[in-house]
Amino acid sequence: MKDRMITLATYGYARAQLLKTRLESEGVECFLKNLNLIQSVVGGGVKLRIKAQDLAKALKIIEELELSYAQEDFEKSFPRKKIDVNRILVPVDFSDFSPRLCEYAMNIAKKFNADILLFHTYFASAIETIPFSDSYTYNATVVEVLSEVEKNAKARIKELYYDIRNKLELEKVEGIEVDYALSGGTASSEILNICNTYQPDLVIMGSRGESAGTTNLLGSVVSNVIEESEVPILILSDQGENISIDHIDNIMYATNFDKADFRAIANLKFITKPYDMKIHCVHFNDIEDDNVMEEHQMEVLRKYLDKTLGDSNVNCSIIQIEEKMKGIEEYVQKNDIGMIAILARKHNLLERLFFGQMSRKLFIKTHIPILVFH
């Protein structure tokens, strides 16, 4: 019977060749796929193929090499320095939830001594209220309506601004600058524009709640910002009471063993450091799947965190369950998870779970904040 071949990993040519030499020296037969003898490598990387029966042995051999590769990738993308939250952007829509959003941002700002920028865009809602008749009337109405809307928006955002200022003064908190900005345009586009100019370290936004009449967890504005932004985004449920971040002891990071997880977890460590939260790094796997590769990847991640971050306050687990969303719910309840962190990636199953219909019940029922990295 012909031996079944599997792909152990995909690397650049030099790394694949090095690993092939090491494995063969230990008696593991290897083959390189996607190798072009003239150009050395083709697009997509070189696949390292081995016999399925050699998987466990191969994984043990390459573990230390993988750790060195992880460290190398980490240092390239994320220099070893402390990440501070110096600027917080808070988009507001003047809903009943906006004051609570500001309160949450203020509490985080106090921990990091960070500045706060409140932001509102008013153009889209104004245009929707304008009846279309002849062009002259339409143009005149646009000017009048926009002028009135801008005036009202400025008055309302100043209320939120002075509310934060007064609370900080009452608590005698110094070193935090609070400001506000208004813009005319499409909400998601203007939020992305202000991210480019203001360069926040964290964006805090509200989700769409149960009354929003959508099967999606988030409205289109938040979804678009998540997709296009590169800034960490903290999403708060706009239904019910949010648990104070000071009272959150456990945060879950859902991993699919993406290389970017190393950087995201490092950022998560720095962001949560003032709160002394325990980080749960969890991978949810199908119950019928062979767990050998996932256990190896989790072990690499665990040793990497220990070696690079020196963090013993991270718990790494693999949960095998047929219904991933059910597994997430059970883990959240069993481990008293107060916040969930996830890496935003297109075609990411975990992202679809968290931002799809299945997660709606969990998010609205528990009001657990979701922290999105990119």
Closest CA to 219 of 32, 15, 82, 355: 355
The pLDDT of residue 212 is: 45
Nearest by Cα to 370 from 200, 183, 238: 238
Structure-token pair, residue 321: 């369950």
Closest by CA position to 233, among listed 207, 261, 208, 204: 204
Eight-class DSSP state of 235: E
- Model pLDDT, residue 362: 56
Return the pLDDT at 38.
Answer: 41
Same domain, 31 and 139: no
**Residue 329 placed within a domain:** yes
Tokens of 223: 């979804």
Do 250 and 150 lie in one domain? The reply is no
| The last residue of a domain, from among 22, 51, 77 | 77
Angle among Cα 149, 150, 151 to the nearest 5 degrees reads 90
Q: Give the C-alpha separation, 262 to 77, whole Å.
A: 10
Clarify whether residues 251 and 326 are in a common domain: yes
Q: Contact at 8 Å (CB) between 242 and 104?
A: yes
Amino acid 13 reads: Y
Blockwise average pLDDT, block size 10, the chain, 374 residues: 72 78 85 62 68 81 59 49 82 91 94 95 58 51 74 93 96 94 89 95 78 51 85 84 83 84 82 87 76 76 74 80 80 91 65 51 66 86
Residue 200 and residue 303 in one domain: no
- pLDDT tens by residue, 56-89: 788 777 766 655 554 555 455 444 445 678 999 9
Q: Dig out the tokens for 178 from the structure.
A: 């609070």
Which phi and psi (to 5°) does residue 323 adopt?
A: -100, 105
Domain boundary among 54, 77, 100: 77
Cα–Cα distance measured from residue 358 to residue 261, given in angstroms and rounded to the nearest whole number: 24
Whether residue 163 is found in the same domain as residue 71 = no
User: What per-residue confidence (pLDDT) applies to 204?
Assistant: 96
Q: Are residues 100 and 72 in the same domain?
A: no
At residue 285, the pLDDT reads 80
DSSP labels for 28-79?
Answer: --EEEES--TTTS--TT-EEEEEEGGGHHHHHHHHHHHHHHHHHHHHHHHS-
Decide if 239 is inside a domain: no
What is the model's pLDDT at position 299?
Answer: 79
Same domain (yes/no): 182, 288? no
276-301: per-residue pLDDT in tens? 888 999 988 876 666 677 777 787 77
- Do 255 and 365 lie in a common domain? yes
Q: Is residue 43 part of a domain?
A: yes
| Residue 280 and residue 337 in one domain | yes
CA 144 remoteness from chain centre: 41
Question: How far is Cα 48 from Cα 189, in angstroms, rounded to an integer?
Answer: 43
The CATH number of the domain holding residue 25 is: 3.30.70.1530
Regarding whether 343 and 266 lie in a shared domain, the answer is yes
The reply to whether 195 and 305 lie within a common domain is no
Rounded-to-integer distance, Cα 269 and Cα 251, Å: 10
The rounded distance, in Å, linking the Cα atoms of 268 and 251 is 9
Q: Are residues 154 and 269 in the same domain?
A: no
Pick from 206, 235, 257: which residue ends a domain?
206
In-domain check, residue 211? no
User: Is 235 within the bounds of a domain?
Assistant: no
- Let me know if residue 236 belongs to a domain: no
- Looking at the domain assignment, is residue 226 inside a domain? no
CATH number, position 343: 3.40.50.620
Q: Which among 126, 119, 120 has a CA at the least distance from the CA of 146?
A: 126
Give domain status of residue 240, yes or no. no
Query: How, if at all, do strands 233-236 and 370-373 pair?
Result: antiparallel
User: Can you say whether the dihedral through the CA atoms of 72, 76, 81, 85 is positive or negative?
Assistant: negative
Q: Which domain holds residue 108?
A: 87-206
Mean pLDDT of the chain: 77
Kindly list the distances between the CA atom of residue 309 and the CA atoms of 9, 119, 282, 337, 345, in Å, as whole numbers in the listed order. 25, 35, 18, 22, 24
Two tokens, residue 77: 């993308």
Domain count, the chain: 3
CB-based contact 86:114 (threshold 8 Å) = yes
Core vs surface per residue 59-77: b (16+ CB within 10 A) or e = bebbeeebbebbeeebeee
